[in-house]
Structures are given as C-alpha cells and as structure tokens.
Amino acid sequence: MAILPILCYPDPRLHTVAKPVVAVDERVRQLTQDMLDTMYEAHGIGLAATQVDVHERIVVIDVSEERNRPLILINPEILWASDERLVGDEGCLSVPGIYDGVERSVRVHVRAMDAQGKEAIIEAEELLAVCIQHEMDHLLGKVFVEYLSPLKRNRIRSKMLKRQREELL
C-alpha cells in the first residue's frame, strides 16, 4: 500500500493533458491500487492520475457508502452525455476544503478498460456520472474551479497559495 502525494491547486502540473495508457501491465495495476489507497486515505470518491503527477488517462472512483466498490477507468471516453443537467456542489482532493456549484450532465455512457485491460461501457447517473465527468476533466488538465467565475477562482487561488505558504512555516 502506497499513499501518493496529491497535487494541490494552483499547481501548474494539474493542467497537464494526460496521455493514453499504451498497455495495461503490472505497473498500471500497481498505480491503480496506489491511487485507490490514496483516494480512500484522503476520504475522496474519485482520483485522476493527473492529481498524483502521473499524466496518463487513469481514473479511480468509489461512490459506494461502504467504500468497497472501486471502479477503475483506463483510457475513459464519454460516448454520450444527457442533455438533462444539474448543478451540484463539488469538491476536489486537489482543492481541499473548497466546494462550489458546477453544472454537469445527469447521465453519461463511458467506454473504458479495467485493471485487466478488459473494455466495458459504463452507464452512470447522478453522483457516479458527476464524479466521472469531474475526474475526466482532470485528464484534460482542467480543475473544477475553472467552471467558476474569475472572481471566485482568484479567491480560491489566493486562499490555496496562502495555505501552502502557512504549511511551509
């Protein structure tokens, strides 16, 4: 079990676009396990490889109450997103303590591989659909605060930088 360091906004590495995974091998399987361990340790429901400074298209998610239904998405691709949308408060392990409203599709269909390299189509709705969209944004180098107004985004950026400076003291 390895707990990986999570990049915090506004770290510029969070804006790196992830590259596709070429082969699902033991290295990738170990990374997904480390990402799950990191996500559970941080009490999150999703984590993208970008957030742990690995710029490959890998996402781990577990929205179950029991925290025992991990979902691994390798090279995820949204095939369909509903026109029906909702605004929900989102948070992010890379922006700790900050929550704000983001509009997302209520349902999505996603094609991805699992940790064995088996491809599947996942039909997700509500919290799982929102989580998938949020984590896939990370793979594109986008953090949820970028959906907010410039004023809010600048306030969050200042708050995060101040917190990082205080942690160094």
Contacts 24+ apart (CB under 8 A), 43-46: 44/93, 45/127, 45/131, 46/131, 46/132, 46/134, 46/135
Catalytic residue among 84, 90, 123, 135: 135
Q: Is 135 a catalytic residue?
A: yes
- For tokens 């708050």, name the residue: 159
Cα(17)–Cα(55) distance, integer angstroms: 7
**131 annotated among ligand-binding-site residues:** no
CA–CA gap between residue 119 and residue 50 (Å, rounded): 21
Ligand-binding site membership of 15 (annotated):
no
Burial of 80 (0-12, 13-18, 19+ CB in 10 A): exposed
In sequence order, the 6+-apart residues with CB closer than 8 A to the CB of 8 are 94, 95, 96, 160, 164
Is the alpha carbon torsion for 145, 148, 151, 152 positive or negative? negative
Q: What are phi and psi of 92, to 5 degrees?
A: -155, 140
User: Which residues are tagged catalytic?
Assistant: 135
Question: Which residues does the annotation place in the binding site?
Answer: 92, 134, 138
Question: Which residues does the annotation place in the binding site for Fe cation?
Answer: 92, 134, 138
